[in-house]
Amino acid sequence: MTCDPPPGSLTTKGKPAGDPDRIAIPVAADNDRERAVAMALVEDTGLDAVDAGTLAESWRQQGGSPSYCTDLSRDELPAALAATDASRSGARRDLAIAVVMERMIGDKATSVDSEHFVRVARALFM
């Protein structure tokens, strides 16, 4: 059996600017020009870009953090970034992977869609 991941939010949830269901992703950069380019590219994909500060602060958006794979809006994302706890993110990330893999592998394997992972991430990370 292969475990091909389902298409994720970044490839399926792009919406026109202003759509109330549009999700956001954080963008970190060390200079204004690079940040502007990255944010424009994100916006062009149908997602809202949120300034997440410098690259040194980008750990706040990694696996296990409240902003990772939780499909938050532009209004929700800044609070999730601020709430990130580096001492807990690694364990939360590993637990999320274990929960999803348990459902995908073995005699009783079932399919997992991207919404399942979003639900798991929200339950564990937020």
Whole-structure pTM value = 0.83
User: Mind listing the pLDDT tens digit for each residue in 52-78?
Assistant: 999 999 999 999 999 999 999 999 999
Whether the Cβ atoms of residue 93 and residue 117 lie closer than 8 Å to each other:
no
106 pLDDT band (50/70/90 cuts)? confident
User: Mind listing the pLDDT tens digit for each residue in 82-95?
Assistant: 999 999 999 999 99
Q: What is the pLDDT of residue 7?
A: 60
State CA 55 to chain mean position distance: 17
Could you tell me the residue ranges of all domains in the chain?
Answer: 22-125
